[in-house]
Structure 1
């Protein structure tokens, strides 16, 4: 039962973050020209290549733009599963804004968690 709750938390977090990152679940054509040396650049590119996020345009991701906080309970539980981390002072601030790059890293980490903790669902035959 605990594994099912863990998987549900990860799926919920991944879903919410993917909607926060762009609304539509498809990638923009081309590559993002504005990632530079942003933390999580490889993860953002991986998510785009998988068709899970898109930029604000074909060439811009705007990694420093803010994402509004939502569903803090799911985000807080994701700490346990290493989907998100605490800030430099060891605090988790669920009401603080996060950047698109930070949200993309959380989405990537949620997907990695799901890959490493696959669980049978009752719908499989």
Structure 2
């Protein structure tokens, strides 16, 4: 068995084992610390679908911050991204793409998948750094646009009260996130782009993104005569 196939078999078996275990837990339990969270039903729905997991089978810790690694894993899970159709000459490692990564960390497979699925992540990505709301929204929106084959659209910009705090590089993606209904402004019309992303916010954004994709499926490929 060659290196690439060995890696793929082991990764697939490991993923399936983890997925089956988490789905079994989700089918018989729900988080007990989300009762007062506005996005409770969305969080539980994602748990039951195996898209997100708690710190254990009962606790989600909705107010905990989200790291880059956790955010990337959520996007990979939500879009069902993989590297199954890629042939590698040598076993890929997370550090081949992101120097600050740990090849033995739980997140390493997700970083490899992200690198081969067009997620626009910087080479100096720190997997353990907390992500802001604008960072997560940018990577989520660009990922769903690419893999959901969403058409380019002209949007009337939404007035954001704290727009001056928004990274100009993320501005377009954030505007589209507002248009897609992935995120909403608060009662004062602010986005709080630099605020650290919480687990409950990430779950809500992921749920809303999936809902948008389901309501706007990619166009069917045209039949082409040989």
Per-residue deviation, 1:93:
2.2
Equivalent residue in structure 2 for 1:92, among 167, 171, 191: 191
Q: Give unpaired runs (5+ residues) of structure 1.
A: 1-24
Alignment correspondent of 1:56: 55
123 and 34 in structure 1: CA distance in 2 versus 1, 3 angstrom threshold: farther
The structure that has the greater radius of gyration is 2
The alignment's TM-score, normalised by the length of structure 1, stands at: 0.69
With normalisation by structure 2, the TM-score equals: 0.40
Per the alignment, residue 13 of structure 1 pairs with none
Q: How many residues align?
A: 101
Partner of 1:36: 35
Report 1 or 2 for greater relative contact order, CA contacts < 8 Å, sequence distance ≥ 6.
Answer: 1
Q: Contact 1:75–1:94 (CA<8 Å) still a contact in 2? A: no
Distance in structure 2 (CA, Å) of the matches to 1:75 and 1:48? 26
Q: 2:201 — aligned with what?
A: 102
- The answer for the alignment partner of 1:65 in structure 2 is 64
Aligned CA RMSD, in angstroms, stands at: 2.5
Q: State how far apart, in whole Å, the 2-side matches of 1:34 and 1:92 are.
A: 25
CA distance in 1, matches of 2:30, 2:222: 37
Change in CA separation of 1:75 and 1:55 when aligned onto 2, cut-off 3 Å: farther
Q: Which of these residues, 98, 109, 115, is aligned with residue 214 of structure 2? A: 115
Q: Match of 1:82?
A: 181
Q: Distance in 1 between matches of 2:200 and 2:175?
A: 18
Residue segments in structure 2 that go unaligned for 5+ positions in a row: 1-17, 67-130, 139-169
